[in-house]
Structure 1
Amino acid sequence: MSEAVQLPCPTCGAVNRVPAARLADGPRCGQCKTPLFQGKPLALDEAGFRRHLHLSGVPLLVDFWAAWCGPCRVMAPEFEAAAKLLEPRLRLVKINTEEAPALSAELAIRSIPTLALFVGGREVARQAGAMRARDIAAWAERALAATPP
């Protein structure tokens, strides 16, 4: 029997248990029936980030950004393309630092865009600066491989 992982629904927030071996099979929320992975990053506020951070069994790759930031706007479509490359191994999310200043301060986000990878509720890697989709995916894969189980 495959180990199950918890996944908060990106639409209704319900926590779903999905066998790890079935993550790539297009699982749907047991409550609202929407896909648990949608091939694009989730825009989360601070509460949504904390919910996913503490309840998700899938690592989170977070893009900290702001609307006024030119490099952030350049990287946005690349981060979206990276979601198609990395899901369902990772959940990609976007946090607008202007809308979540307390979270940004708590996590010591000093420049944007900044990518941070969280596994098991803790940050395991960070990278500042705009990147292309394939570079985002390669960086995330390397960081995951270097993270002890």
Structure 2
Amino acid sequence: MAIYRCGRCGSINRVADQRIKDRPVCGRCKAHLDTTGAPQPVDGAALEQAIASSPVPVLVDYWATWCGPCRVVAPTLDELGRRNAGKVLVLKVDTDADPAEAGRRRIQGVPTFVLFNGGRELDRRSGVTSRADLERWIETKAGQPSTRASHA
């Protein structure tokens, strides 16, 4: 079983592994689900909904368009999301577009990665890092992502 967030309504959807290639639709709004695992941009309200309802770890990238290191790490996050599609949700919050969310989460610099699981913050780290380091961090803090998704 894999977990995907609807880009239109924000609902969390469970999709059987054998149905992923069938262009599944959201159970709530019937929009086609993006099953690539690519990072999704969200605002504070959408982020809160995802954190509260996701049965898999949620990795949030707090970033800004003017930030050079943020642009450097963007392809790494894209690769991480795609390699772990259905097992980890990768979301992005633009701190310039949503400064209230950045303030609420006490984001002091970008890029900052915050890991959530079970509705709560587990850990955070800042700066450019590799995909392998981020994956190890997620596994260490949230447990094996593939194990979590299969029990969701």
- Shared fold per TM-score greater than 0.5: yes
Aligned CA distance change for structure 1 residues 77 and 8 (closer, same or farther; 3 Å): closer
2:8 is matched with which residue?
11
Distance in 2 between residues matched to 1:85 and 1:7, nearest whole Å: 14
Match for residue 130 of structure 1?
Answer: 128
The Cα RMSD (Å) is 2.5
CA contact under 8 A between 2:113 and 2:124: conserved in structure 1? yes
Per the alignment, residue 121 of structure 1 pairs with 119
Secondary structure of the structure 1 residue equivalent to 2:8? coil
CA shift digits 1:15-59 (9 cap, x unpaired): 54x37xx36752542342512533200111112111212222222
Unmatched segments (≥5 aa) in structure 1: none
**Partners in 2 of 1:32 and 1:131 — Cα distance?**
36
CA contact (8 A) 1:61 1:90 kept: yes
Q: Residue 83 of structure 1 aligns with which residue?
A: 81
Q: CA deviation at 1:142?
A: 1.6
Q: Which moved more, 1:66-75 or 1:134-143?
A: 134-143
Higher relative contact order (CA 8 A, sep 6+): 2
1:72–1:112 Cα contact (<8 Å) kept? yes
Output the CA distance in 2 between the equivalents of 1:134 and 1:15.
Answer: 26
Q: Percent identity?
A: 33
How is 1:1-149 mapped onto 2 (pairs within 5 angstroms)?
Answer: 8-16=5-13, 18=14, 22=16, 25-26=19-20, 28-30=25-27, 31-35=29-33, 37-145=35-143
Per-residue CA deviations over 1:92-148 (Å, capped at 9, x if unaligned) read 0000011111111111111110111111111001111111222222221221129xx
8 Å Cα contact 2:58/2:116 also seen in 1? yes
Q: Which amino acid aligns with 2:133?
A: D
Range moving further from structure 2, 30-39 or 64-73 = 30-39
Letter in 2 for 1:12: C
Task: State the one-letter code of the partner of 2:115.
Answer: L
- What is the total number of aligned residue pairs between the two structures? 141
Deviates more, 1:104-113 or 1:133-142: 133-142
TM-score (norm 1): 0.81
Q: Distance in 1 between matches of 2:63 and 2:85?
A: 20
Q: Structure 2 length as normaliser, TM-score?
A: 0.79
